[in-house]
């Protein structure tokens, strides 16, 4: 019997479908050895020797695998092909007793003297390491034909990252506990991500908006004898005045804008010049981990963590290739199939004569890997692939479109720009437009953008000297915008551009800074919290060299050099740790505990209360350490008072007693005044004053109808209005109701929509 070990039970289930009865496929459920949680686990005095332990939750798995490995004729380690997967395979050899005997070690040492094999970790004769980029029958069979040894350089790169992050975390986190509050943490990558968010917030706070105006006009071709009807209007913007180009801020007030618009209204206009040029737009490359996370955030509203969870499911079930990669390469077989699919679905004119290849821009990209793509491009949608989960279908569709588009012809566009001058040559407007001459790849997919795009319209055929009719002119007010807050897409894009972290680190990094309470995410945008700002400022002031963007990028490059076998991992750790420890010890003595004095006197001792940080943010505490008197912050106290007034008539759903406003880490809610005897709770609802029309029309609910209340969608935070008795009642509407008629109309529209959806589902099923 041959034992195949992978890291995921889903992956094990998929692989077992492709192997015969001679194989047993088992899962390690991820890492089976790690550094201990209770202590540093790195012997800094003895060449950074790690002390690995088997976590409690992994012990039953290890015991089971040990028993099966002893009985197996051959143990095949089939973990992922990246550094993390290589390290898991290496840990399995130690935990399962798969190391070579004395004779094999002698042969291994001889092999290591040969530079061609210096990066290989030789294991027992009854152990093999295989790697593959996709979980398909052909890929598994090919991997079994070409086993290899464990690449110790990749293992060392993973160990170096793990230990350096442990040295930083276990060094800085206790420092922050003592100087700010217990339970906080710092990390090499997470602290840089927090720094970016805090610095962006301060840029926004410093920003002062400025007013500016534009003058825009609608023109049309004049009617002729042959063509009595004027053509559809097109818009142009005032570009220059008296021959001088207008800058963005040149028209800065309403009076000037209205004066110019009134003067321009009385002029006659003609086309001064027309320029046309053909441009080709090429498609974006296939997905890397980073670009997939960015695009899923833009187009699907997925968080980075959600994207990686769904992608992992697709990979382990054999639908896409490995989802942790920074390469834009596609396998020759995929390129050939892409050409066939494009020709079949869209026609030969959309297919490329030769495959399009992309240069990878990511620092340290592993070119041997593939980009993320469907394993079978013939399945053009998640439904065709047989995916039942909606999230999996949507992400699969996005990956398929991106892959296919990358191997389609460029789009051909004609851009037209026309200058329109007044008869006295004082005013000159400019109109721009474009015509799609050949849609090419945009028939399937266009890349999303983080910035709002100004879409160019389609201009009618214009000729130089042609008279135009001015149909309307208006001055428009604008204000300069501050830099936008980071979203998942823009933050990942920035981290990648600066070489901070690697594909596998982005999702856990963003999750960590939210879990620690350093940032909050509202309507997909990141906001730093008070505690996040305090921690960031402390680290920036006293450890700038650790959370410096260039330093973090430099460390990532050194990890890459370790993976290539060019430097030793111990050298990297020593170079970092020696000055870091010396600096940390100095700051321990130098930096005093962060204390902020408020303007609120303590009701107990009369002294000014101090500001402390708790799990739910700031609060006031008595400066006397012997007392435990606390108060909410003034602004929070005012909010609680307002909410208490708003909800004064609410009653406990369990015992009927009054409710009081309370706060958890998820926000404000109502709790029974008789807590802990009664544990009744309720949400604080923003009522519209209307009863739910669907409840009133229902015989079961008309005696106790729900209220129409304001809600926010879980994904994008969009406001809508729905019945408070959900899920018993599913009434919902987008617009705030102003009258009973609005509610009745919304109920009719919802019923019609539900009927249409039901009909479509029935047709698909048929």
Q: Please list the active-site residues.
A: 322
Q: How many CB atoms lie within 10 A of CB 514?
A: 16
Q: Where are the alpha helices (DSSP H) in 347-451?
A: 390-405
> Which among 43, 151, 23 is positioned nearest to 93, based on CA atoms?
151
Element (H, E) at 563: helix 549-563
Q: Can you tell me the distance from the alpha carbon of 381 to that of 377, in angstroms, rounded to the nearest whole number?
A: 9
> Following DSSP, what letter does each residue of 617-636 receive, concatenated?
EEEEE-S-TT---EE--HHH
> Which among 335, 316, 491 is positioned nearest to 392, based on CA atoms?
316
760: Cβ contacts below 8 Å, ≥ 6 apart: none
CB 475 within 8 A of CB 260: yes
Chain centroid offset of residue 694 CA: 38
Burial class (CB in 10 A: 0-12, 13-18, 19+), 204: middle
Q: At what angle do helices 488-497 and 289-300 cross, to 10 degrees?
A: 160
Q: How many CB atoms lie within 10 A of CB 137?
A: 12
Q: What radius of gyration, in Å, describes the C-alpha atoms of the chain?
A: 32
Q: Can you tell me the distance from the alpha carbon of 639 to that of 641, in angstroms, rounded to the nearest whole number?
A: 5
> Which among 421, 99, 52, 61 is positioned nearest to 273, based on CA atoms?
421
555: Cβ contacts below 8 Å, ≥ 6 apart: 164, 188, 572, 576
Which sign does the torsion angle of CA 168, 169, 174, 175 carry?
positive
What is the DSSP code (8-state) at residue 226?
Answer: S
């Amino acid at each position: 019997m041959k034992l195949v070990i992978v890291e995921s039970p889903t992956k094990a289930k998929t692989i077992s479908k492709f192997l015969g009865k001679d194989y047993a496929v088992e899962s390690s459920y991820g890492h089976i050895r790690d550094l201990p949680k209770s202590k540093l686990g790195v012997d800094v005095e003895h060449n950074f020797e790690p002390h690995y332990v088997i976590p409690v939750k992994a012990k039953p798995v290890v015991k089971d695998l040990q028993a099966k490995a002893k009985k197996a004729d051959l143990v095949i380690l089939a973990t992922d092909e990246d550094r993390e997967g290589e390290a898991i395979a290496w840990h399995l050899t130690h935990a399962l007793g798969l190391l070579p005997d004395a004779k094999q070690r002698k042969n291994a040492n001889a092999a290591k003297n040969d530079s061609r094999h210096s990066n290989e970790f030789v294991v027992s004769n009854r152990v093999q390491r295989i790697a593959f980029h996709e979980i398909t029958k052909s890929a598994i069979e090919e991997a079994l034909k070409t086993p290899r040894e464990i690449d110790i350089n990749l293992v060392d790169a993973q160990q170096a990252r793990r230990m350096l992050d442990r040295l930083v975390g276990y060094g800085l986190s206790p420092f922050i506990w003592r100087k700010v509050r217990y339970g906080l943490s710092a990390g090499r990558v997470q602290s840089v991500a927090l720094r970016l968010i805090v610095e962006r917030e301060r840029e926004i706070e410093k920003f002062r908006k400025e007013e500016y105006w534009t003058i825009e006009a609608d023109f049309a071709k004049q009617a002729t004898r042959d063509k009595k009807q004027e053509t559809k209007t097109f818009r142009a913007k005032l570009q220059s005045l008296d021959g001088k180009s207008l800058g963005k801020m040149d028209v800065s007030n309403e009076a000037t804008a209205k004066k110019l618009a009134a003067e321009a209204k009385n002029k006659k206009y003609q086309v001064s010049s027309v320029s046309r040029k053909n441009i080709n737009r090429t498609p974006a490359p296939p997905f890397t981990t980073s670009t997939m996370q960015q695009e899923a955030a833009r187009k699907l509203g997925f968080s980075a963590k959600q994207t990686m969870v769904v992608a992992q499911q697709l990979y382990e079930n054999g639908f896409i290739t490995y989802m942790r990669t920074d390469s834009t390469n596609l396998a020759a077989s995929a390129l050939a199939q892409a050409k066939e699919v494009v020709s079949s679905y869209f026609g030969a004119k959309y297919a490329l004569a030769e495959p399009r290849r992309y240069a990878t821009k990511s620092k340290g990209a592993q070119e041997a890997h593939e980009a993320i793509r469907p394993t079978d491009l013939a399945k053009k949608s998640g439904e065709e692939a047989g995916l039942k989960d909606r999230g999996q279908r949507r992400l699969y569709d996005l990956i398929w479109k991106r892959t296919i588009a990358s191997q389609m012809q460029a789009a051909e566009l004609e851009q037209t720009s026309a200058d329109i001058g007044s008869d006295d040559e004082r005013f000159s407007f400019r109109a721009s437009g474009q015509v799609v001459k050949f849609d090419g790849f945009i028939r399937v997919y266009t890349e999303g953008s983080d910035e709002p795009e100004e879409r160019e319209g389609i201009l009618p055929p214009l000729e130089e000297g042609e008279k135009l009719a001015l149909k309307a002119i208006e001055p428009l007010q604008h204000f300069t915008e501050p830099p936008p807050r980071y979203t998942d897409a823009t933050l990942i894009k920035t981290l990648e551009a600066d070489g901070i972290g690697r594909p596998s680190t982005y999702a856990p990094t963003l999750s960590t800074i939210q879990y620690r309470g350093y940032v909050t995410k509202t309507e997909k945008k990141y906001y730093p919290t008070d505690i996040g700002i305090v921690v960031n400022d402390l680290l920036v002031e006293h450890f700038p060299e650790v959370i410096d963007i260039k330093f973090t990028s430099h460390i990532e490059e050194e990890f890459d050099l370790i993976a290539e076998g060019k430097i030793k991992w111990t050298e990297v750790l020593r170079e970092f740790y020696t000055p870091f420890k010396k600096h940390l010890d100095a700051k321990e003595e130098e930096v005093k505990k962060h204390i902020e004095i408020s303007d609120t006197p303590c009701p107990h001792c009369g002294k000014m209360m101090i500001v402390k940080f708790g799990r739910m943010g700031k609060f006031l505490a008595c400066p006397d350490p012997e007392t435990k008197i606390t108060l909410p912050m003034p602004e929070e106290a005012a909010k609680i008072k307002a909410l208490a007034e708003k909800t004064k008539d609410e009653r406990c759903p369990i015992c009927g007693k009054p409710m009081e406003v309370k706060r958890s880490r998820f926000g404000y809610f109502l709790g029974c005044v008789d807590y802990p005897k009664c544990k009744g709770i309720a949400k604080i609802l923003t009522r519209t004053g209307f009863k739910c029309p669907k409840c009133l029309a229902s015989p079961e609910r008309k005696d106790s109808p729900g209220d129409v209340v304001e809600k926010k969608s879980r994904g994008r935070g969009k406001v809508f209005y729905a019945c408070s008795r959900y899920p018993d009642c599913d009434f919902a509407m987008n617009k705030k109701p102003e009258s009973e008629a609005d509610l009745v109309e919304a109920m009719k529209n919802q019923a019609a929509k539900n009927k249409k959806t039901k009909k479509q589902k029935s047709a698909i099923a048929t």
